[in-house]
Structure 1
Amino acid sequence: MARTVYLKTPLTEEDVRGLQLDDVVYLTGDAYTMMYIDHFTRLTGMIKAGEPLPMELKGNVIYNTGTIFRREEDGTYDFRAIGATTSSKFNAYTPEFIRLSGVRAVIGKGGMDRNVLDAMQECGCVYLAIVGGCSAIYTPHVELKREFWPQKSWADNQLQLRLDAFGPLFVAMDANGNSIYEQCGDTAQENLPAIYEKLGIKAT
């Protein structure tokens, strides 16, 4: 039975290993946006080179998201909206990043592949699925704290966010090797022959 769990970052391995598929999570604490491939490659390269990072990743959360905000003249931010981007774009980069950085959770939409799931099981990390198209629900629970490597386009920036009971988020890939996306795929494949037969389609 799904539970509702309230967690604060930094997360411990015990926090993460205790989560199960379909648990509903509300997060409070820091999260770092990862919107583009170069966000992964830059940080991975810095870690490998032993360079100091401008953020604390260990035990924290990365969020595959784009945001809308405005920089005010006094240096503050007028934060307007947050959503999620498709996480599978980062399948090739996320396993190594999890192993090197020590992050405990990835927020995104659409799920990720088996290589990411294996890294999550190995290191103690979960995938928290957000509900797409519900920015109005999530945005009031987010504060923009900092920009890293500011770009001319606000959409390209990597950000530090402060989350306050941010959710609902759904455990869709847990730290014990289970993925709701794989389960759904398996169920769909099992049902295909019956669907084809009902429609009079010859399976190839």
Structure 2
Amino acid sequence: MLDKNPEQVLDNTLEKIFREFSNKNPNMVLSSEPFMKSQFLNYLIESTDLSVIFLDFDLLYSGYVTSKMIPKNNKVKIYQPVKESFKRIFSDVAKEISKKQCLVIIDSFNGLNNMFDEIESGIFINAITMLLSSISKQKNSIIVVSAMARKKENEGWVLSPGGRHIIESKNAGIFYLNGDEKALFLKILNKNQGKIFKIEQK
């Protein structure tokens, strides 16, 4: 059970969040608000000196950058994978993170899941996520996977829409993102203390 009164930690620089992310790989950030999810990912990008590889399966982040709702950042390399280009892009990303430390953002797990049919997607997605996580250890890269999700009573977290269960792993960090007009809140789900990081809106 999570603590009913979890510790809340102010982290406007995201320094503590990055420290938490560095302890696990991959890190799954669950949310039910698309724009809030993109805001958080943009805060991550702005708060790091690392090169950023952004796998934009939903095209949401790219759309916000094109419309200038989110500023373009030159340290971000954006890929827009489709099924036909996925293996080539995955190979390029794997090579890059084997050579230098990067922040890899997969946005989102829903889009990646929808790219493949139901029979192949579960096994394949788990395999590539585990492989990326393994390669990331060579240079201490950080992998963040976003997902639109909801909590289903007695069943845990599921993708929304779709309803596919999100499988938890002892090696992965699981977080829930919500917030309001004043702040974003990132809650650790797979630790007993249920710590919450607070990021004040800019």
| TM-score range normalised by the length of the shorter chain | 0.3 to 0.5
- Report which structure shows greater RCO (CA 8 Å, sep ≥6): 2
User: When the two structures are superposed, what TM-score results if normalisation uses the length of structure 2?
Assistant: 0.35
**TM-score, with length taken from structure 1:** 0.34
